[in-house]
Amino acid sequence: MTNKAKIKQQIEIIRKKTFLDATLDRVFKMLFSVDSALIHFLNAILHLPDATKIVSISRPKKVTVKLDSGEGSEIVRFDIHAKLKNKQFIDLEMQRAGHTDFLDRIELYSSLLEINSKISFDKGRPKREKNVHPYLMPETYSIWLCNFKVPFSKSYREELGLFRLSDIGNPKALPIYTKKRYIIIDLTKYKAARNTPEAEWLKLIATSASATSAPKTTDKAIADAYSRLQVKNAS
C-alpha cells in the first residue's frame, strides 16, 4: 500500500469516529493551544487552593537541547509561565510523554525547566536581592501525561518529591524541598471517578477516541473541549 493510500485509509477511519483521539500529539497540541482550556486543565490537575489558582499564562520561548528520538514522533511539550490569584508566579511544563528512558527524561526536562525559570526569575529581581539571595529558586511544576503503564505508579496519579532516605517507612514523611513538584498521570490506570474537573479532563483525554457522545457536564470548559474535538468540527 502506498503512503497516499495509507493516508486515505486513515482519513476514512477518522471520519467514522465522533471525536479525535486526544492522546495523539497533534490533537493534544490543538486541544491545549487555547489558553482558557490549558488554565482550566492545570488548575484541575495541580489541586491548588482557591487563593493560589492560576489566573493567566504566557508561553515563553524556551531554551532546549535538540534530542534525537527513536520513537518516530514529536513529543508535545508546553512550557508555561503562570500568574496566580495571589500575584505570585510559577513555572510549569506539561508533556504528553513517551516511555523511553522515562525517569531520565523526567529529570532532564525538569532540570531544563528549572534552569530556564531561574534565568527568567533573576532578570526580574533587584540587584540587592540577588546579592543577598543568589540561589533563590522559583517554584516549578512538571506534569506528565502518560498513555502507557508507568512502572512505579500505584494509582493513576503520583507525585514525586525530594525526601530523606531516613524517612522511608514513615507515613507522615514530608518532602524537604517543596519548590519542585513532579505530577505523573498514568492514563492506563485511570478509572471514572467522582465528578471533579480533574476526572472530567482525564476521561476526555483517555476516552475521546472511543466516545460516541459528549458526557453531560455543567462545566463550560469541558463542553467546549469536546466540541473542538468533534471530527465534524476538525479542519
Grouped pLDDT means (10 residues each) for the chain, 235 residues: 57 71 87 93 92 90 52 65 88 78 88 90 94 95 90 92 94 94 91 82 91 91 94 75
- Tell me the CA distances in angstroms from 136 to 89, 123, 195, one per residue in order: 14, 13, 39
Cell of 149: 503503564
Angle of helix 35-46 versus helix 197-207 axis, rounded to 10:
120
The answer to whether the beta carbons of residues 77 and 109 sit under 8 Å apart is: yes
Q: For position 198, what pLDDT does the model report?
A: 93
CA 106 – CA 163 distance, rounded (Å): 17
Which residues, including other chains, have CB under 8 Å from residue 14's CB and lie 6 or more apart? 20, 231
Q: For position 75, what pLDDT does the model report?
A: 62
- Tell me the CA distances in angstroms from 223 to 43, 57, 99, 229, one per residue in order: 17, 21, 30, 10
Sign, CA torsion 169/171/176/180: positive
Cell of 2: 502506498
Instruction: Go through 41-51 and write b for each residue having 16 or more CB atoms within 10 A of its CB, e for each that does not.
Output: bbbbbbebeee
Q: For position 178, what pLDDT does the model report?
A: 92
The answer to whether the beta carbons of residues 116 and 62 sit under 8 Å apart is: yes
Q: For position 235, what pLDDT does the model report?
A: 59
Which residues, including other chains, have CB under 8 Å from residue 19's CB and lie 6 or more apart? 208, 209, 211, 214, 226, 229, 230, 231
The structure's pTM equals: 0.83
